Chains A and B, each alone.
Chain A
Amino acid sequence: MNIYKPELMEVVEIIDETADTKTFKLKFKDTDAARNFDFKAGQFGEYSVFGEGESTFCIASAPTRKEYIECSFKQVGKVTTALRKVSIGDTIGFRGPYGNHFPIDDMKGKNVVFIAGGIGLAPVRCVIWNVLDLRDQFKDVTIIYGARSTADLVYKRELEEWKNRSDIKTVVTVDPGGEDAGWKGEIGFVPAIVEKAAPKAENSVAVICGPPVMIKYTMPVLNKLGFKDEDILTTLENRMKCGLGKCGRCNVGNVYVCKDGPVFTYEQIKKLPAEY
């Protein structure tokens, strides 16, 4: 078996999230591959445009929704620029699912606090829908999401849906100066908004993903609120090529982020060399 050979995926839907971010809905072209495909929240894949190369993104849709997978990507490099030019009906490559996953089963019966910044909502969204699709198995659900400006918020339609649900507490914020005239959400950086929202730490798990600077300043806030390091989960985004624990790129200390991660507790991360 050739572990580097991708499955062919048809792009069946494209959503423009922001000026530079898109979400693709993908379906397997091969019916056997579609039937055999299964994944867990937090796993990722290698997406490719043939002739341009591969890029690593999480699977942004939830494993509870099986007919398709979704990925969201921001245009930053060669592959994402090529992906941006892809149209509905086009074919791209996909390898996966790779890596470990969020411990959904262990989170059952607990309060779950989701904290995300910018495009970091993509991997968190996968867990959010996983939890919401099994809503009665979890206690309180809190979602705190921030972006630089209202124009940078992704999954806007879903943020609305979450805000309108009475069984979730949803707080959306933009950085100061990033609000527009009609903005009704919070204004402020994520760490401050987390402190203000003050989700309770007892019997809770926090799932956090976003820019390194956001994570850096949110962690102490969570600790202050009483969250223990082992109850804070995040997903590392090291550069990868193979996704299979071979090419060496994502090696940090004794772990390969692509195999031993990408999901780590804050407790595990503290033990790693600071190379992520």
Chain B
Amino acid sequence: MAEELLKGGNAVICEDEKGRGWKRIDSPSEVRINHNEVPSNISYKEFVFSKTEPIFYFKNRKENYELAEAADGNGKIVFLGAKPCDARSVEIMSKVFNWDYKDKFFNEKAERTIVIGVACSYKDEFCFCTSVNINPASPEGSDIFLVPLDEKEYAVRIITEKGKEFISPYLKYLTEGNAARSEEALGKIKWPGKKFEPGKVREWIGNNFEHKLFDEIGSTCLGCGQCAFACPVCHCFDIVDEECSYECGRRMKNWDACQFGLFTLHSSGHNPRDNQNKRYRQRIAHKFKYYADKFGEILCTGCGRCSRGCPVQIDIAQVAAEINSTANRV
């Protein structure tokens, strides 16, 4: 089945063998479904929201500028083996890319995605999906959802119309399932405990913007931006020009992060978020309050990547839990 899938002009994206990130695979032997292993260091968002991509090309013929559109691919982008904490990322980000103006660079890729999710049986001290209303057995965000039954066997659940259409040519590879067996497998999954109540955190941030808690956390943060780049839903970007040659160039849309001092620096030298405390506060407030207020989604899936990768051990779930307990004390 994987072979046929790969031949169909589809880009099949799996976690790489070292767990660093996700990559487009070329052969069925590279298929990896890591339902019981730690999530990759970075998420697969780069296949929808590119690390760097041209948004148009320009050609300078003295006074005459010609703008050429940047081309995009076609064919399906199949995320194979997305844990529930990854499966929702595209739909969460799609709110900001579509709330008024539509970003075609995101949308053209998002429309081509097929998310083949997998029930997750991995859990470590950094996991907190249940605190942000996601759970390891949830098919939310998936078009097709796999439930691991044993080493080599998965129950396949068709979740969306898109998933149904996608899988129809491959039905011949599937055998009749036993719903009770997959229910039993899902029932055995141990959920990470709830670490905080997102509504509490959201409310507290709104009323305690100047709280010293933000200074305590912010003072340890290095501002490296690892958390934003690893995150499945962080979506800030920069727009910069690149010269290709003397006569032509391109304008690029590149990943950026609110953790960098230059992010908000005015040309006058004034910087509204002039220290790391404010920048870390922005990260927390944007995720749990602003995005939730504006778009009705928490900008976090509880994957724990930012915390696992943080060089100074800032654990976002612990921060939120601390906010929660501070809120409870009041």
Contact = CB atoms under 8 A, between A and B. Distances in A.
A253 B278 CA distance: 12
A254 B55 CA distance: 28
A227 B178 CA distance: 72
Interface string B244-258: 000001010100101
A248 B293 contact: no
A246 B235 contact: yes
B91 interface: no
A51 interface: yes
Contacts of B209: 273
B102 interface: yes
A50 interface: yes
A55 to B, nearest CB: 8
A259 to B, nearest CB: 6
A239 interface: yes
Contacts of B63: 89-91
Contact of B272 (A3, A6, A244, A275): A275
Interface string A42-58: 00000010111111000
B96 A245 contact: yes
B104 interface: yes
B54 to A, nearest CB: 10
Contacts of B237: 241-242, 246-248
Nearest to A75: B267
Contacts of A274: 272
B241 A52 contact: yes
Given A52-B241, A76-B268, A259-B100, A248 B69 contact: no
B103 to A, nearest CB: 6
Given A4-B239, A251-B286, A76 B278 contact: no
Contact of B65 (A8, A212, A244, A251): A8
Contacts of B104: 1-3
B101 A249 contact: no
A168 B100 CA distance: 39
A196 B240 CA distance: 46
B56 A5 contact: yes
A53 to B, nearest CB: 5
B241 A50 contact: yes
A50 B249 contact: yes
Contact of B293 (A52, A238, A254): A254
B67 interface: yes
B240 A247 contact: no
Interface string A142-164: 00000000000000000000000
Interface string A115-139: 0000000000000000000000000
B58 A50 contact: yes
Contact of B290 (A4, A50, A251, A259): A251
A276 interface: yes
B243 A51 contact: yes
- Secondary structure dominating the interface of A: loop
Interface string B111-135: 0000000000000000000000000
- Secondary structure dominating the interface of B: mixed
Contacts of B282: 251, 275
Interface string B64-102: 110101100000000000000000000000001101111
B273 A247 contact: no
Given A239-B264, A251-B286, A254-B290, A3 B102 contact: yes
A238 B55 contact: no
Nearest to A87: B63
A246 B65 contact: no
Given A245-B99, A246-B103, A253-B290, A53 B272 contact: no
Contacts of A212: 270
Contacts of A251: 258, 282, 286, 290
Which 8 residue pairs of A and B lie closest in terms of their CB atoms, listed nearest first? A248-B236, A275-B272, A4-B55, A76-B267, A244-B101, A50-B58, A241-B239, A53-B241
Interface of A: 1-6, 8, 48, 50-55, 76-77, 80, 89-91, 93, 211-212, 237-239, 241-242, 244-249, 251-254, 259, 273-276
27 contacts: A2-B70, A4-B251, A48-B251, A50-B58, A50-B60, A50-B251, A51-B58, A52-B241, A53-B251, A80-B267, A91-B63, A91-B64, A237-B266, A241-B239, A245-B99, A245-B100, A245-B101, A246-B96, A246-B235, A246-B237, A248-B235, A249-B236, A249-B264, A253-B290, A254-B290, A254-B293, A274-B272
Given A90-B63, A248-B235, 14 more contacts: A1-B102, A2-B104, A4-B251, A50-B58, A53-B241, A242-B237, A242-B239, A244-B103, A245-B96, A245-B100, A246-B96, A246-B101, A248-B237, A251-B282
Interface of B: 55-56, 58, 60, 63-65, 67, 69-70, 96-97, 99-105, 209, 235-241, 243, 249, 251, 253, 256, 258, 263-268, 270, 272-273, 278, 282, 285-286, 289-290, 293-294
